[in-house]
Amino acid sequence: MTQSPSFQTVMHDPQWLAHRYDPGHDAFHLRHVSRARRAAMPFLTDEYLGSDKPLILRRVDAVEHAPAASPIHFIFHSAYCCSTLLAAAFDIPGTSMGLKEPVLLNDLVGWRHRGGGGAQVARVMDEGLRLLARPFSAGEATIVKPSNIVNPLIPAIMAMRPDARALFLYAPLEAYLASIARKGMWGRLWVRDLFGKLLREGMLGALGIAPEAFLGLTDLQVAAAGWLAQQQQFQSLADTLKQRVATLDSETFVDRPYDTLDALGQFFEFELDPSAITAIINGPVFGRDAKNGDAFAPGKRAADARSGVALHAEELEKVVVWARHVADSAGICVALPQPLIR
């Protein structure tokens, strides 16, 4: 008969990913996932992790036996901006461990929406961040790229981790809208779902759009409003958090990958050897689509962006004009301050 591993063994083995939190039973669900499997997955979600049965530990037991917290930093984003690629690039054995959209943080957002108390959610979030930051090698920093639905929790996360730094990554407005348009019906449904979540969080009020006008917005206007709301949040937090935040647009990242990795490594307080940066850029991470793993030929990202613009040029042009007017009226920067690289 196989003996179950001890709490100590499980919690000190980073292959046991802190995957979900169940508030009904006050328990963490852990999944055994090797570093190689994590690297091969676009996201650490049930869809990609498969149907293996989780190891369920009471929260108090998991936390009691967890190792001390290790350094942790964040890549927060507003979607469709190469965030998955950047997080994958920062999974560097011996230097940093990249986590792409751990669902545990999504669970806390959902719990809060269902009425979870602020103090309870905050306690579990603090403990959950500790469980996520269990790297594979001593001295590694953990780089977490949450889903953008976690963005309302950024102030609390950064307050809980005063040594953490955050990159705010975004696609330029035109590129973001073109990506949504190119996705067709699914992209348009996604932005309406996001719009509803932002509305629930009270993040649309700053735009100056009357609630009775919401139903009259086109799909791409809804997309633009969601982009502006997230941009406004990033702008406000950059002003509040000062040097703990840097910002980056996806086109700069794609055009200048070496400079991006070099600057972000320094910002996260570890230096990357020039040869290591070159190896990452010339390696499999940049050579495949970060979401589906397909081979990614040079120039394909730019070609995809152009196709999105060409197919929806008239609508995109009008919505961009509208969105810039909203941004000007609300004092929202379409290009965020505190850029990572200039």
CATH number listed for the domain at residues 7-330: 3.40.50
- For the four alpha carbons of 275, 276, 280 and 281, in that order, the dihedral sign comes to negative
Tens digit of pLDDT at every position of the chain (342 positions): 455 678 899 999 999 999 999 999 999 999 999 999 999 999 999 999 998 899 999 999 999 999 998 999 999 999 999 999 999 999 999 999 999 999 999 999 999 999 999 999 999 999 999 999 999 999 999 999 999 999 999 999 999 999 999 999 999 999 999 999 999 999 999 999 999 999 999 999 999 999 999 999 999 999 999 999 999 999 999 999 999 999 999 999 999 999 999 999 999 999 899 999 999 999 999 988 766 666 656 566 556 656 657 778 999 999 999 999 999 999 999 999 999 998
Residue with tokens 């530990």: 57
Output the DSSP codes for 265-304: HHHTT-PPPHHHHHHHHHSTTTTB-TTT--B--TTHHHHH
Residue ranges of domains in the chain = 7-330
Please choose, from the candidates 213, 171, 175, the residue with its C-alpha nearest in 3D space to the C-alpha of residue 195.
213
Model pTM greater than 0.75? yes
d(CA 168, CA 83): 10
Using DSSP, state whether 6 is helix, strand or coil: coil
